[in-house]
Structure 1
């Protein structure tokens, strides 16, 4: 009887375990990006089909907000894939969102609810991104010499 030489199937490298904090931060950044994109589409639509104000100003404002939506969406993509570069844009977005939320909250009324939501999301994402586990997963502490 002849025996055929059987080879073991090649081991497929396992993906690194997903860090829940990075997943949550990516979800928050993605939601912020989607909210900005929705706001940009709304402004463009109101500029084109609305009857109030300057059409050019509304459309340009909407296009600017749409362009701004690209940053948190890109950061969310990078955070989901644990890319080191994504931490900086994600942190910057949150640091910009905090004074925006504060200003909106000062106006009160219907903007107060939006201000609370924006502020809470920004604080939550900041906490998620500066946590040592998230920092280590992104390799942001790789330059440290182990003090």
Structure 2
């Protein structure tokens, strides 16, 4: 085996042309990223509020803040996976969108200033689901339907 052929086998990523990322996959990654950032930001706001406002139950507020931050990491990791075209990332991204729908519904039922947040969340969740179910997205992630051969 020559040194040129061994270099070809150790670094295949240098031999192939990078495939372009479909716009729908990029948009799905952006939707998941926005949702993840919103959850992390909400958790951090809750953390700061609980530490500065001593009128409530500190333990519950801290647990709520930690939960929001932890839940925000799921769509952020999924967004990164979608961006890098990892097939595993579609599952957590879809679950995030499905779980966002009842939250959006509850925000819409609040009859307060939370209604615009509910509308925005519902639009993000439905958009995310449509983008994640798109044939160009599933193809870019290497996901095929049963009975369909991988090319």
Q: Report if TM-score (shorter chain) is over 0.5.
A: yes
The alpha-carbon deviation at position 16 of structure 1 amounts to 1.0
Q: Which runs of 5+ in 2 are unaligned?
A: 1-7, 9-13
CA RMSD of superposed structures (Å): 1.8
> Does the CA contact (< 8 Å) of 2:21 and 2:140 recur in 1?
no
SS at match of 1:109: coil
Please give the alpha-carbon distance, in whole angstroms, between the structure 1 residues aligned to 2:143 and 2:56. 46
> How many residues of Structure 1 are paired with residues of Structure 2 in the alignment?
138
TM-score (norm 1): 0.88
Aligned to 2:96: 93
TM-score (norm 2): 0.86
Note if 1:119 corresponds to 2:104. Answer: no
CA deviation map 1:107-135 (0-9, x unaligned): 12101000000000000000000011111
Q: Which runs of 5+ in 1 are unaligned?
A: 1-9
Q: Which moved more, 1:71-80 or 1:43-52?
A: 43-52
Q: Which has the larger radius of gyration?
A: 1
Please give the alpha-carbon distance, in whole angstroms, between the structure 2 residues aligned to 1:46 and 1:76. 28
Q: Which moved more, 1:46-55 or 1:90-99?
A: 46-55
CA deviation map 1:29-85 (0-9, x unaligned): 111111101000011111111133111111110011001011000000000011000
SS at match of 1:144: coil
Note if 1:13 corresponds to 2:2. Answer: no
Please give the alpha-carbon distance, in whole angstroms, between the structure 1 residues aligned to 2:69 and 2:24. 27
